[in-house]
Amino acid sequence: MSSADFNLREWISNSSKIRALANEENAQDDNTEAKLFGLAWNSKVDTLKLQEKRPLTDPNDNVVSITKRDVLRTSCKIYDPLGLITPITIRAKIFLQELWELKYAWNEPLPKPLIEKWVKLSTDLEAATQTEVQRRYFPLLSLWPSN
């Protein structure tokens, strides 16, 4: 590509052969992480991870009062386009639905049992956003039939 004055830059591949070839052509990009559909893709280990720019909860925050507004704010921060952590995010939505059924106002502090339930849920959400999953769903060998 460089012979035709096309300087390839800012690219990424999970293939070690392509990275080695690019290294020979001096077109190697050392970046191993890229954004893919709002997810972080690590090309070296070929995994996807949710991209949370900031923690869902403040670790220095002593949970004194939680409101319905806080629950909605935290549960809406998670962008999961592939539904990787839906079993956990749905629990937060169900909890919010319970708050609506109990007719809590937006800024009304929740009682202690509900705060404890929410703290556990938000801890699970935080842990789920740190999970990495393999990008490839099927093993490579299963893509081609054996002879």
| Average pLDDT along the chain | 80
Give the pLDDT band (50/70/90) at residue 2.
low
Cβ neighbour number for residue 2 with a 10 Å cutoff: 10
- Would you place residue 16 in the very low, low, confident or very high pLDDT band (cuts 50, 70, 90)? confident
Q: Is residue 128 part of a domain?
A: yes
Cα separations in angstroms, 113 against 26, 109, 110, 116:
60, 12, 8, 5
Residue 24's domain spans which residues?
9-45
**75 belongs to a structural domain:** yes
Residue 119: inside a domain: yes
In a domain, 20, yes or no: yes
Rounded CA-CA distance 113/63 in Å is: 12
Mean pLDDT of 137-143: 63
Residue 26 in this model has a pLDDT that exceeds 80 = no
Q: Is residue 144 part of a domain?
A: no
**Residue 23 belongs to a domain:** yes
Query: What confidence tier does 30 reach under pLDDT thresholds 50, 70, 90?
Result: low
Residues 84 and 124 placed together within one structural domain of the fold: yes
